[in-house]
Structure 1
Amino acid sequence: MYLAGQFYSTMVRILGLKIELRVSNKIDSKQNYVFVANHQNSYDILTISKAALPGVVTVGKKSIKWIPIFGLIYWLSANIMIDRKNTGSARNTLDATLDKMNAKKLSIWFFPEGTRSYGRGLLPFKTGAFRLALAANKAIVPVCASEMHNKIKFNRWNNGTVIIEAMEPIDLPEEMNAKQLAQHVHSIMSAKIAQLNIEAEKLDNA
């Protein structure tokens, strides 16, 4: 994820976007985390992936590997693939992800909405990322990007600013199950995205 993010983010100029990246100094590069990010559209690979740190891999749909070129890169990057149609496989994937995370000191990146939002705001979270965080006893790092919906027009060079922020790690609150934890993180990210939207608009209008 890290190398792919660094490579693809260099292509963001094609979109006419300026990326402002903020990374909390509370994130310890020697620790591994569960990263959760908002998923807006197909351009995320060029934008929000810039926040990925060394040692970060993703969990994605098994069908991704069939996408020409990108799918091969995704597979060769040791990312973890799941079959969402197979419940048993998904449970096995959680165990395998946990084992891989601990054995190789990896951080795992999720888009917990499970789909692209396309301007509908931050969608409800699925619980997989939070079940993993609880099982691994790892802090969660929210990664938030300001709104991109309807912002990109290919007939102009300047499509404004997208602010991406990797927030301070959230330690696991006591006595929270995966669903409650998902809702807790969702509320934090929703507030942060609203703040980033205001800041990005001010930068664009300056």
Structure 2
Amino acid sequence: MLFLARMLLMGVHFIIAGTLGLLLGLFRPFNPDNSRLCARLYSLPALCMLRLRVKTEVQSLFGQQQSCVVIANHQSNYDLYVLGRVVPPRTVSIGKKSLKWVPFFGQLYWLAGNVLIDRGNAFKAKQAMLTTTDTLRHKNTSIWVFPEGTRNLGEGLLPFKKGAFQMAIAAGVPIVPVCVSTYAKRLRINSWTSGRIMIRSLPAIPTLGLTLDDLPELMARCQTLMQQTIGQLDEQLAKA
């Protein structure tokens, strides 16, 4: 019964948050800070409804003095609510072009200035990547990317794709890893408290001076750091 009640409330909330976010996007279209405001609009009420306890340690994420590429592990659709709590100012994300057609959410996602990529069209995807490089360099805007490219369903990090790292190297901006404890298969939506999650951002990894020859080492370094940190977060929660 609790599960059904929560899903009903979450459905209503999704529509209301989408409507309010769409109005915000129409009022000031493509403002890069729309993403942060919409993320909070979705996240904070949802976490209360789910009674999902989220502890954050994200000083390095909010302490950035320049644009950066934020990379985070991607577990489930609930990331919208979990990670929406820690999206920093003037940060947009990269998503699939098909998101544009999701009612309410897709339209506000587009109007918030996020980058939509047609992954089936290599030329258009490349052009979108060039646009993001210009955004990082000249528009005081950071870009949030899920480098796995799809949800890992809480079964460990999937191999990283190159796009986020190519962007960071091309723009000469740092990479800030954001790690979320494993939660996708541990949520207890039918319990009074749905669970606990920890989010930790790591110190920025500079890319200035790197070339594409450094790409494999950079990717491996980021993946190793994130795997280690996620393991540490899981251990902390298990002991608490």
TM-score class, shorter-chain normalisation, is over 0.9
The structure that has the greater radius of gyration is 2
Is 1:42 equivalent to 2:77 in the alignment? yes
Give the distance between the partners of 1:198 and 1:100, measured in 2 at CA.
38
Q: Which amino acid aligns with 1:4?
A: C
- Tell me how far 1:200 sits from its aligned partner: 1.7
Q: Which amino acid aligns with 2:173?
A: K
Taking only the aligned residue pairs, the percentage that are identical comes to: 37
Contact 1:8 1:46 in 2 (8 A): yes
The residue number in structure 1 matching 2:48 is 13
Change (3 A) 1:165 1:174: same
For structure 1, the 5+ residue unaligned runs are none
The 4+ residue runs of structure 1 with deviation greater than 6 A are: none
Give the distance between the partners of 1:90 and 1:179, measured in 2 at CA.
21
Partner of 2:78, secondary structure, is helix
Contact 1:131 1:178 in 2 (8 A): yes
- Tell me how far 1:25 sits from its aligned partner: 4.5
The residue number in structure 2 matching 1:88 is 123
Equivalent residue in structure 2 for 1:132, among 162, 167, 174:
167
Is 1:153 equivalent to 2:179 in the alignment? no
Q: Which amino acid aligns with 2:226?
A: M
Q: Larger relative CO (CA 8 A, sep 6+): 1 or 2?
A: 1
Partner of 1:3, secondary structure, is helix
Partner of 2:70, secondary structure, is strand
Change (3 A) 1:188 1:25: closer
Is 1:51 equivalent to 2:119 in the alignment? no
- Tell me how far 1:182 sits from its aligned partner: 1.3
- Tell me how far 1:61 sits from its aligned partner: 0.5
> Which aligned pairs between 1:172-191 and structure 2 lie closer than 5 A?
172=207, 174=210, 176-191=213-228
Contact 1:16 1:156 in 2 (8 A): no
Q: Which amino acid aligns with 1:135?
A: A
Task: Answer 1 or 2: which has greater helix percent.
Answer: 2
- Superposed CA deviations along residues 67-110 of structure 1, whole A, max 9, x for unmatched, are 11111110111101100000111111111111122231100000
Give the distance between the partners of 1:91 and 1:134, measured in 2 at CA.
15
RMSD of aligned residue pairs (Cα, Å): 1.7
Change (3 A) 1:202 1:8: farther
The residue number in structure 2 matching 1:198 is 235
Contact 1:58 1:79 in 2 (8 A): yes
Equivalent residue in structure 2 for 1:118, among 153, 159, 162:
153
Contact 1:51 1:143 in 2 (8 A): no
Partner of 1:47, secondary structure, is helix
